[in-house]
A and B are shown apart, each in its own frame.
Chain A
């Protein structure tokens, strides 16, 4: 069974401060991991996928297989980063399992 845990439901940071969203997973094989973002009243958008090791909008995420984590980080939060963030895992069967989501609020 595959499972994704996002321990923080809400995260509030000040503009310019670092932000880190935690994601832990359980899966016996080699997972594909993703971060999705949902801005207010918009559709979910793919933010990052670990396989491409890219940085989007200043966000990065590193897969730590030892700790089974895929935390999302940004060194300097911006107000436009306020959104709901979902961590997701694919076990190779093209089905995505999502975490419960973390709502990020960036204060001016």
Chain B
């Protein structure tokens, strides 16, 4: 089941370049999230969205931009990539409501050189 698809799976980019990570869901869940996973830090929330055209900052938003023009898509853009943004990025969705967890994508491993 596709459910939630992230692309690309792997990306190498140079410092200063703009790069966009894609996230697509087929469930029509209201909530979508972007996390970065780093050793020793666990998962940290970058941005989230409660619905189309509604986005908000998470714990570590600096250097990132998001948009959500359609419910099913939630792209994450690194405006000018830095080495500190080398990480694994996970997109997640939730239908909301008490007790519902998240559904995670397979992740994008981004390396900034």
**Which A residues contact B (CB, under 8 angstroms)?**
4, 6, 9, 32, 34, 36, 42-46, 49, 51-52, 86, 88, 92, 94-101
Per-position contact with A for B79-101: 1 when CB-CB < 8 Å, else 0?
A: 00000000000101010101101
Given A94-B96, A95-B58; A34-B40 close (CB under 8 Å): no
B99 and A52 form a contact (CB under 8 A): yes
- The one of B41, B90, B94, B96 in contact with A43, judged by C-beta atoms closer than 8 angstroms, is B90
3 closest cross-chain pairs (CB), A and B: A51-B99, A46-B101, A100-B42
Interface size class of B (residues with CB under 8 A): 20 to 34
Min CB distance A38 to B, Å, is 9
* 13 A-B residue pairs with CB within 8 Å: A4-B42, A9-B40, A36-B102, A44-B104, A51-B98, A86-B43, A94-B94, A95-B33, A95-B58, A96-B102, A97-B45, A100-B40, A101-B42
Q: Total A-B pairs in contact (CB under 8 Å)?
A: 54
- The one of B31, B43, B44, B105 in contact with A94, judged by C-beta atoms closer than 8 angstroms, is B31
List of A residues within 8 angstroms of B43 by Cβ: 44, 86, 98
List of B residues within 8 angstroms of A86 by Cβ: 42-43
Tell me the interface secondary structure of chain B in the complex.
strand
List of A residues within 8 angstroms of B58 by Cβ: 95
- A24 to B101 alpha-carbon distance, docked (Å): 19
B104 and A45 form a contact (CB under 8 A): yes
Given A36-B101, A45-B104, A51-B99; A99-B42 close (CB under 8 Å): yes
| Most chain B beta carbons < 10 A, residue from A4, A9, A43 | A43
Min CB distance B103 to A, Å, is 8
A32 and B99 form a contact (CB under 8 A): yes
